[in-house]
Amino acid sequence: MASNGPPDPAATFRELVTTWERNVNSLANQVMGTESFSRLMQEMQRMQLALQQATSEAMGRRLAAMNMPTREDIIRLAEKLGEVERRLGRIEASLEGDATVVHDEPSRGARPRTRQPPAEYLSSENLQKEKPR
Amino acid sequence: MTKTEAGREDLGLRVRGMVDRAIQRGVKGFEYVTSGPAKVGLTPKTTLYGRGTLQLYHYAPLADELYRVPVLMVMATTNKAFVFDLLPGQSMVEFLLKRGFDVFVIDWNAPAPEERGLKLEDYTQDFIPTCIRKVQQETGQSDVSVIGYCMGGVLSLIYAATHADGPLKNLVCLTTPIDWKQMGLTTVWNDQRYFDVDRVADTLGIVPADFIRQMFEMQKPAQRLAGQLRVSEQMWNDEFVRSYRAFERWGDETLPLAGEYMRQTTKELSWGNKLFTGELVVGGRSANLANVTVPILSIVAEHDHLAPRDSTKPLLDLVGSNDKEEILLKGGHVSLIAGPNAIGRMWPRLERWLAVRST
Q: In Å, how far is A67's CA from the nearest CA of chain B?
A: 22
DSSP state of B241: H
Cα dist from B303 to B141, B175, B306, B308, whole Å: 38, 11, 9, 7
Burial B168-206 (b: 16+ CB within 10 A, else e): bbbbbbbbbbbbbebbbbbbbbbeeebbbbeebbebbbb
- Shared domain for A33 and A57, answered yes or no, is yes
Read off the pLDDT of residues B288-319 as tens digits, 9 standing for 90 and up. Answer: 999 999 999 999 998 888 999 999 999 999 99
Give yes or no for A131 touching B (CB within 8 A): no
Does A128 fall in a domain? Answer: no
A83 located within any domain: yes
Q: Give the whole-angstrom CA distance, residue A64 versus residue B228.
A: 48
Residue A105 included in any domain: no
For residue A11, give every residue at least 6 positions away whose Cβ sits within 8 Å of its Cβ, in sequence order, or none.
none
**If DSSP codes are grouped into helix, strand and coil, which group holds residue B34?**
helix
Residue A8 lies in a domain: no
Highest mean pLDDT among A90-104, B231-245, B297-311: B297-311
CB contacts < 8 A, A to B, total: 155
Strand partners, B174: B149, B299
Statement to judge: residues A35 and A60 lie in one domain: yes
Mutation for A interface: B15, B141, B169, B192, most A CBs within 10 A: B141
Going by pLDDT thresholds of 50, 70 and 90, the confidence category of residue B238 is confident
CA–CA distance, B254 with B84 (Å, rounded to integer): 15
Interface check for A69 against chain B (CB to CB < 8 A): the answer is no
Please report whether residue A47 resides in a domain: yes
**A52 falls within a domain:** yes
Please state, rounded to an integer, the average pLDDT across all residues of chain A. Answer: 78
How large is the ipTM? Answer: 0.78
Check residue A97 and give its pLDDT.
59
CA B232 → CA A25, A132, B335, distances in Å?
Answer: 21, 50, 20
The shortest C-alpha distance from B196 to chain A (Å) reads: 8
Helices B223-233 & B3-34, crossing angle to 10 degrees?
A: 120
Pick from B64, B189, B226: CB nearest A41: B189
B78-127 tens-digit pLDDT: 999 999 999 998 999 999 999 999 999 999 999 988 899 999 999 999 99
Q: Do B113 and A78 touch (CB under 8 A)?
A: yes
Residue A61 has pLDDT above 90, yes or no: no
The residues pairing with B145 across neighbouring beta strands, listed in sequence order, are B71, B170
Query: Which residues in chain A touch residue B64, judged by CB atoms under 8 angstroms apart?
Result: 111
Residues A33 and A58 in one domain: yes
B-chain residues within 8 Å CB-CB of A37?
188
The reply to whether residue A107 touches residue B63, judged by beta carbons under 8 angstroms, is: no
Nearest CA distance, B184 vs chain A (angstrom): 8
pTM of the model: 0.84
Residue B111's nearest CA partner among B11, B201, B171 is: B201
What is the nearest CA distance from A66 to chain B, expressed in angstroms?
23
Domain tally, chain A: 2
Contacts of B52 in chain A (CB under 8 A): 82
Q: Partners of B104 in the beta sheet?
A: B58, B72
Give the chain A residue nearest B183 (alpha carbons).
Answer: A33
**Domain span holding position A76:** 69-96
Percentage of chain B exceeding pLDDT 70: 99
Nearest to B185 among A29, A103, A117 (CB): A29
pLDDT at residue number A129:
56
**Domain ranges (residues) in chain B:** 45-355
Domain spanning B45-355: CATH superfamily: Alpha/Beta hydrolase fold, catalytic domain (3.40.50.1820)
Identify the H or E element spanning B50. strand B45-51
Look at residue A11 and tell me whether its pLDDT is greater than 90: no
Co-location of A33 and A61 in the same domain: yes
On whether residue A20 sits in a domain, the answer given is no
Claim to verify: residue A58 and residue A83 sit in the same structural domain? no
